Amino acid sequence: MRKRLSVLSVPIDVITMKETIQRVQELMNEPGLHHVVTANAEMVMLAKGNPILYSILEDASIVTPDGAGVLWAAEQNNEHLPERVTGIDVTRELFSIASKQNIPVYCLGAAPGVAKRAVENLEREVGPLQIVGIHDGFFNTDEEQSIIGDMAKAKLIFVALGVPKQEIWIKEHLSHLSGVVAVGIGGSFDVIAGNIPRAPEWMQNNRLEWLYRLYLEPKRIGRMMAIPKFMFTVLKNKR
Ligand code: UDP
């Protein structure tokens, strides 16, 4: 039975990494498009002010707790989320399953060449992959039509266009697919391609990954102001 809790009214699944991967495998055999969202504090704040994103989260097949802020917010209301289930970890695990089970995969997003490099790195880690298409995240309408056409050959679709563009794009363009799982993965191709290093383990363990990202990309400061706003709102609304 699916268990969800709400963080500032935004639904989040009480789910572990292992359960997420198991569920995705089941969903590939169930009719309809299955949207997997990995939600962090920034996304929760965005969803509060964006009814389209909010309804996508409500309808999603899985919303994982991606981010220390979401775990912390649940604790403030004496609720418990077992662990972070991050976009990057979900991506790596699903590619590993895709290789083992020869699942057809489509990769959309990031700057030209990045997803291709990410796939090459992944193949070194997990073995050969059945990639039915790769396209960067900067396309015109004609290219978009051929991307959507090619996606019909996939069972697993990764979309890296940033939040909330990727979630809205999946909803608007892929709802006709069936027996397919689509995951919005933000900057994961950049990380796997080696463009952006991941935070050192001690920072991840101390819930400081956000600080490392800020150190690498100081221009994120504007977006990251969502984090203190999120914390303030959680404390103000403590049940
Ligand atoms: N991106 C893209 N097309 C766009 C806008 C962004 O492919 O029109 C890509 C961008 O190159 C980057 C990713 O989307 O690879 C967004 O990464 P970010 O770390 O900002 O993701 P978020 O924090 O929003 O999950």
pLDDT at 210: 87
- 110 in contact with ligand 1, CB cutoff 6 A: yes
- 107 in contact with ligand 1, CB cutoff 6 A: no
Residue nearest atom 10 in ligand 1 by C-alpha distance: 110
The answer to whether the CB of 85 falls within 8 A of the CB of 15 is: yes
Give the number of the atom of ligand 1 that is nearest the alpha carbon of residue 137.
7
Single-letter amino acid, residue 119: V
Give the number of the atom of ligand 1 that is nearest the alpha carbon of residue 196.
19
- 46 in contact with ligand 1, CB cutoff 6 A: no
- 181 in contact with ligand 1, CB cutoff 6 A: no
pLDDT at 224: 86
**Given CA atoms 165, 93, 25, 47 in this order, what sign does their dihedral have?**
negative
The answer to whether the CB of 231 falls within 8 A of the CB of 68 is: no
- 163 in contact with ligand 1, CB cutoff 6 A: yes
pLDDT digit string, tens, across residues 182-231: 999 999 999 999 988 889 999 999 989 889 989 999 998 988 899 999 99
Q: What is the whole-number distance in angstroms between the Cα of residue 110 and the centre of ligand 1?
A: 6
Residue nearest atom 16 in ligand 1 by C-alpha distance: 162
pLDDT digit string, tens, across residues 68-99: 999 999 999 999 999 999 999 999 999 999 99
CA–CA separation, 35 vs 158, rounded Å?
Answer: 10
* pLDDT exceeds 90 at position 100: yes
pLDDT digit string, tens, across residues 131-152: 999 999 999 999 999 999 999 9
Q: What is the whole-number distance in angstroms between the Cα of residue 28 and the centre of ligand 1?
A: 25
**Nearest to 210, CA basis, from 202, 195, 219, 199:** 199
Q: What is the whole-number distance in angstroms between the Cα of residue 219 and the centre of ligand 1?
A: 14
- 56 in contact with ligand 1, CB cutoff 6 A: no
CA–CA separation, 76 vs 166, rounded Å?
Answer: 30
CA–CA separation, 147 vs 135, rounded Å?
Answer: 7
Could you tell me the pTM of the whole model?
Answer: 0.95
pLDDT (average), residues 157-175? 98
